[in-house]
């Protein structure tokens, strides 16, 4: 795994062009890969635009016995330990930006969220992440189309053909989360609504069917452009077409998500699910979105601001199967 010399971490989405944001000193985060506290701190630090190294520690007797996580931060020669709140206060004091301690106050869930059904919280956070990651891909596509086959300013993306492959990987990640989210809604959430009021989700299902050919078509277009000569007119035309189709998809996703949040999700409370039923259904959603809560979980969370990523971690923390929860946390921190 190379843990003795960990590499500084960066967000997994390959966003181009580079925005030239200020870089702060590398911070080392020590803790168990199974630690929910370490997961909170990881996102707090990444959203402060610091370079982060996670150094896994062995599970201690305290952890096995249900004790507090032995998590600590190191910046240069300075080492800080303590509760989650203590460490978040240190991050806020040391690095500029929105307060992560305030965002995580009261266990990461604000007063408004406490009254919001778990399944609504999860769905809305999915929407926010997908739109943000899709926005990144749209901006990258616009930049590719504007350059028309010329090399990027950022040399790390490589040649035009190498950049297209990286762009394709980023879009594929967005596509996979979108597809799993739609599958989760159609197999878990929509049947709950339709059981209470038959046909309530008809429009949402029709929009899913409408968007599927566009989403898959963009993936095929990227593959086709990737084999063309980067100096050819067909290459440039292909990039413009991809950019245009992505903007269309982005607009349709925004509209679809807004309609769900305004016209459908408010009825969740009327379903009168018990807390036990809510948690059980939440776990079913995690199971259906297997890749999103496995190898793509970092990608999903990195599409959220720090305070929203912490809210999603709180949802993961509600899993009754602690081995499953720890498995998800390890995907974040590995």
**Rounded to an integer, what distance in angstroms lies between the CA atom of residue 119 and that of residue 278?**
7
Same-domain status, 149 and 266: yes
| Domain end point (choices 68, 99, 130) | 99
The position carrying tokens 């266990």 is 107
pLDDT level of residue 24 (50, 70, 90 thresholds): low
Is a pLDDT exceeding 80 seen at residue 7? Answer: no
Within a domain: 127? yes
Number of domains in the chain: 2
Within a domain: 168? yes
- Residue 5's pLDDT is 47
Within a domain: 7? no
Same-domain status, 242 and 286: yes
- Is 169:14 a contact under the CB 8 Å cutoff? yes
Tens digit of pLDDT for each residue in 145-164?
999 888 877 778 888 889 99
51 is in which domain, residue-wise? Answer: 22-99
Same-domain status, 76 and 133: no
Same-domain status, 80 and 224: no
Cα 198 from chain centre: 32
Six-digit token pair at 30?
Answer: 């020590």
Structure-model confidence comparison of residues 49 and 209, the more confident one: 209
**Rounded to an integer, what distance in angstroms lies between the CA atom of residue 82 and that of residue 219?**
47
Within a domain: 104? no
Same-domain status, 306 and 157: yes
Within a domain: 160? yes
Same-domain status, 53 and 197: no
Is a pLDDT exceeding 80 seen at residue 317? Answer: yes
Same-domain status, 143 and 271: yes
Six-digit token pair at 183?
Answer: 């599958």
| Domain end point (choices 99, 133, 162) | 99
Task: Name 92's Cβ contacts closer than 8 Å, sequence gap at least 6.
Answer: 99, 100, 101
C-alpha dihedral, 204 to 209 to 213 to 215, nearest 10°: 30
Residues 10-35 as b/e (b if ≥16 CB within 10 A, e otherwise) read eebbbbbeeeeeeebeebbbbbbbbb
- Residue 158's pLDDT is 85
Same-domain status, 240 and 322: yes
Same-domain status, 313 and 197: yes
Among 120, 123, 113, CA closest to 181: 123
Same-domain status, 156 and 76: no
Q: What is the DSSP string of 277-315?
A: HHHHHHHHHHHHTTTTTTTTHHHHHHTS-HHHHHHHHHH
How does strand 50-56 pair with strand 72-75?
Answer: unpaired
Tens digit of pLDDT for each residue in 170-199?
999 999 999 999 999 999 999 999 999 998
| Domain end point (choices 72, 99, 126) | 99
- Residue 113's pLDDT is 66
Tens digit of pLDDT for each residue in 215-271?
999 999 999 999 999 889 999 999 999 999 999 999 999 999 999 999 999 999 999
Tens digit of pLDDT for each residue in 67-104?
455 899 999 889 999 988 899 889 988 888 777 766 55
Q: E-strand spans in 148-246?
A: none
Mean pLDDT over residues 265-294, rounded? 95
Tens digit of pLDDT for each residue in 123-132?
999 999 999 9
**SS3 helix, strand, coil % of the chain, rounded to 5?**
65, 5, 30
Six-digit token pair at 3?
Answer: 């843990």
Is a pLDDT exceeding 90 seen at residue 6? Answer: no
Same-domain status, 89 and 123: no
Within a domain: 297? yes
- Residue 159's pLDDT is 87
Is a pLDDT exceeding 50 seen at residue 111? Answer: no
- Residue 103's pLDDT is 59
**Rounded to an integer, what distance in angstroms lies between the CA atom of residue 273 and that of residue 277?**
6
Same-domain status, 317 and 230: yes
Q: What is the CATH number of the domain that holds 31?
A: 3.40.30.10
Six-digit token pair at 176?
Answer: 């996979």
Is a pLDDT exceeding 80 seen at residue 332? Answer: yes
């Amino acid at each position: 795994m190379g843990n003795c010399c960990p590499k500084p971490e960066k967000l997994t989405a390959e966003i181009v062009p580079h925005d030239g944001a200020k870089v702060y000193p590398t911070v080392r985060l020590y803790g168990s890969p199974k630690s929910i506290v370490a997961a909170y701190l990881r996102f707090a630090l990444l959203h402060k635009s610091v370079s982060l190294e996670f150094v896994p520690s062995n599970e201690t007797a305290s952890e096995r016995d249900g004790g507090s996580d032995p998590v600590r931060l190191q910046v240069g020669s300075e080492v800080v330990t303590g509760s989650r709140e203590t460490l978040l206060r240190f991050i806020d004091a040391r690095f500029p930006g929105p307060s992560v301690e305030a965002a995580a106050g009261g266990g990461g869930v604000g007063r408004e969220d406490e009254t919001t059904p778990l399944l609504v919280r999860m769905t809305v956070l999915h929407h926010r992440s997908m739109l943000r990651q899709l926005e990144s891909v749209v901006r990258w596509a616009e930049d590719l189309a504007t350059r028309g086959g010329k090399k990027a300013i950022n040399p790390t993306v490589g040649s035009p053909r190498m950049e297209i492959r990286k762009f394709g990987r980023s879009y594929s990640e967005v596509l996979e989360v979108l597809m799993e989210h739609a599958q989760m809604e159609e197999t878990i959430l929509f049947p709950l609504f339709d059981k209470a009021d038959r046909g309530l989700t008809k429009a949402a299902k029709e929009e899913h069917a409408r968007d599927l050919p566009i989403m898959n078509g963009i993936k095929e277009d990227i593959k086709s452009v990737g084999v063309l000569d980067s100096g050819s007119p067909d290459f440039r035309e292909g990039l413009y077409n991809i950019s245009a189709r992505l903007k269309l998809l982005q607009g349709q996703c925004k509209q679809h998500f807004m309609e769900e949040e305004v016209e459908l999700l408010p009825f969740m409370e009327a379903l009168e699910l018990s807390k036990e039923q809510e948690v059980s259904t939440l776990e079913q959603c995690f199971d259906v979105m297997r890749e999103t809560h496995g190898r793509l979980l970092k990608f999903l969370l990195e599409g959220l601001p720090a305070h929203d990523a912490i809210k999603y971690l709180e949802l993961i923390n509600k899993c009754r199967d602690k081995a499953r929860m720890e498995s998800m946390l390890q995907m974040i921190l590995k």
